[in-house]
């Protein structure tokens, strides 16, 4: 019988398993929706990734906002269309962003 007071942790509610990235895995980000040649504007440290998205550590940038469409190239993978779905941190040096892959 299930306990009506049980609340799953946020981690167990995720639809896709997260995988910690290797220490040297980086992602390149191009803000915008242009499908012309991939021209990254920033680099990010990959914190973890899943089939549908990734958590990235980036330097703060005025153009980073929730809902921003972009292309993200993780490691040796081809660039993927993505959307920034969350932003955490208010440090002047680095923030964490979550991207959802749209392809």
**Can you give the three-state secondary structure of the chain, one letter per residue?**
CCCCCCCCCCCCCCCCCCEECCCCCEEEEEECCCCCCCCCCEEEEEEEECCCEEEEEECCCCCCCCCCEEEEEECCCCCEEEEEEEEECCCCCCEEEEEEECC
- Are the beta carbons of 41 and 85 closer than 8 angstroms? no
Record the pTM: 0.78
**Tens-place pLDDT, residues 78-101:** 999 999 999 999 889 999 999 999
Confidence of residue 8 (pLDDT cuts 50, 70, 90): very low
Looking at the predicted structure, is the pLDDT value of residue 4 above 70?
A: no
More confidently predicted of 19 and 5: 19
Domain boundaries, the chain: 19-101
Q: What is the pLDDT of residue 6?
A: 44
**Tens-place pLDDT, residues 30-77:** 999 888 899 999 999 999 998 899 999 999 998 999 999 999 999 989
Q: What is the pLDDT of residue 78?
A: 94
> Among 3.40.630.10, 3.90.550.10, 3.40.50.720, 2.40.10.220, what is the CATH number of 19-101?
2.40.10.220
**Tens-place pLDDT, residues 12-32:** 455 656 666 777 889 999 999
What is the rounded CA–CA span in Å between residue 62 and residue 34?
19
């Amino acid at each position: 019988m299930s306990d009506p007071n049980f609340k799953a942790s946020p981690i167990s509610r995720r639809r896709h398993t997260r995988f910690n990235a290797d220490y040297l895995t980086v992602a390149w980000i191009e803000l915008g929706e242009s499908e012309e040649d991939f021209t990254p504007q920033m680099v990010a440290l990959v914190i973890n990734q899943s089939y549908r998205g990734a958590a990235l550590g980036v330097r703060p940038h005025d153009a980073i906002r929730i809902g921003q469409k972009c292309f993200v190239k993780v490691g040796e993978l081809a660039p993927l269309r993505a959307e920034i779905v969350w932003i955490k941190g208010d440090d002047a040096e680095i923030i964490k962003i979550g991207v959802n892959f749209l392809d």
